Amino acid sequence: MSSSVIYEAFWVGLKEALKAGLVWIVLFSFLQVIDRKKLSGFFLYGILLALICPLYVFTLPVTPQLKELISRSIDTSFALFFILSAFLLAHGSGMNLLGAIERAFGKTVIAAPVLLLLSALYFAPDFAGNSVFLMELAEVKESPAAVYISATAGIVFGLAAFYAARKKIRVDFIGSFFGLPQLFLFIAMIKLLGGGIKGFSGISLIPSVQTGFMKFFHDFVHQVFVILMVPDHPLLKTTAWNFIGILFGPNFSSVAALAALLAIPMLFLSHSFLGPVPEPEAETPADRRKIKGLFMSDRKRKAVSVLLFVIFIVVAWFSESGENISKLYIPKPRPVVEDKGTVMIPLKDPTMDVRDGALYKFSLSYRGEEMRILVIKKDDGKLSVCLDACEICPPRGYGQKQGFVVCIYCNTPIPVATLGQPGGCNPIPLHVLIDDNFIRIDVSEILQKWDYVKSGKGKESVK
């Protein structure tokens, strides 16, 4: 058995223990400072409740659908805690968003079950995802038990380290940096940093979150133009379309997504450092100045964690964006020919097998024009056959990166599972017939779809 698999399993267990330990320390410190330490037990009950998920997952077969469901659950879990932190930060910036609800959550009868539920929602998707990853490791090894033993050892080692360090941790000092908004933001950041479920190769959720944000903004811009019927406007010339093309480029999507992610934290920082200080009730000016100083000191101290989050996101975001397009797998198109109005692409020959999960491209030269076709197998085993072009961008085609095909023009990632669905930056699907040996495509189908690409509808130029 490869020792790397054992190390990988150990790392999975250690990572989950470290995540739970870090969240526990900060939560306990926060509850200690606000004199609500008794609530900490409900956090542990929430973790126990979350353990039901991996126990159930172990009874299921590992399928692409299960992995996709868990992956979406993890992303949703991060989104939930980030949205809650943004809501609370906005409330802490002077907006009264909670009203009377704020007093209700001060009661243990409400706060306790909410804490238990949030703890379960936070850990359950990660536990389930890592269970699937361990099951996949165990399937390819002669001794599956060693994989689970190694993961358990990682959990025990991580928890033992926190237990040994518990007496050296100054909970009052840590808790002084956190209010409720900062607590939720910290928890969201831990999820972002350590929420990946692919071992060493996928520690964080940053690529997934960045991909989701960029795709959202790309599709949002597209829908705005569709609603305004801009693509069909006869007065727009090439120069105008070139300008509009900037909005579909990777730089705009990346910056817009980052701005949305950091808008509320930046508003909170502005309020913390520049916002007015309430006039305290005190007998002398000296006492008022002292109270103001203590208030500002506490407000700035609690802004530190938010500032660290902003710095962390900016650095991580642009380091991910720094991966240039040359790292994509962009296969060279293989020539195919038309025979009696039909293009026939072999499923397999000595040099390729289109069912191996890699991206394949084919080029058809017809009446002096080259049209490109892409073929890739989806997780459900079906082949997706599309034009190497979309309805929005210039037809520069797609590359492949992990579970995505990526538009070479605008860098938008499209999950392979969504191929075959028209619209947006998805490749334009083709109607095909697939038998045991060939993919058969009518040339008329290719010409019709490629003429749409050339016509400029939804693209960078109007003829």
Residue type, 356: D
421 and 434 in contact (C-beta within 8 Å)? no
Residue type, 128: A
Question: What is the per-residue pLDDT for 217?
Answer: 66
Give helix 108-139 / helix 144-165 axis angle, nearest 10°. Answer: 140
Question: What is the per-residue pLDDT for 124?
Answer: 92
Question: What is the per-residue pLDDT for 346?
Answer: 92
Q: Give per-residue pLDDT as tens, 71-123.
A: 888 888 888 888 888 888 887 776 666 666 666 666 778 889 999 999 999 99
Tokens 């992610």 sit at which residue?
A: 261
Q: Give per-residue pLDDT as tens, 358-382.
A: 899 999 988 778 899 999 998 778 8
The pLDDT of residue 459 is above 60: no
Q: pTM above 0.75?
A: no
Question: What is the per-residue pLDDT for 232?
Answer: 47
Band of the pLDDT at 461, cuts 50, 70, 90? very low
**Cα–Cα distance between 12 and 200 in angstroms, integer?**
8
Q: Give per-residue pLDDT as tens, 125-165.
A: 999 988 888 888 887 666 788 888 999 999 999 988 888 87
Band of the pLDDT at 215, cuts 50, 70, 90? low
**Cα–Cα distance between 174 and 193 in angstroms, integer?**
20
Tokens 């730089």 sit at which residue?
A: 251
Report which of residues 322 and 439 the model is more confident about. 439
318 and 324 in contact (C-beta within 8 Å)? no
Report which of residues 420 and 423 the model is more confident about. 420
Q: Which domains, ranges and CATH numbers included, belong to the chain?
A: 3-204 (1.20.1250), 334-455 (2.102.10)
Question: What is the per-residue pLDDT for 253?
Answer: 65
Report which of residues 212 and 133 the model is more confident about. 133
The pLDDT of residue 1 is above 50: no
Question: What is the per-residue pLDDT for 449?
Answer: 87
Report which of residues 157 and 203 the model is more confident about. 157
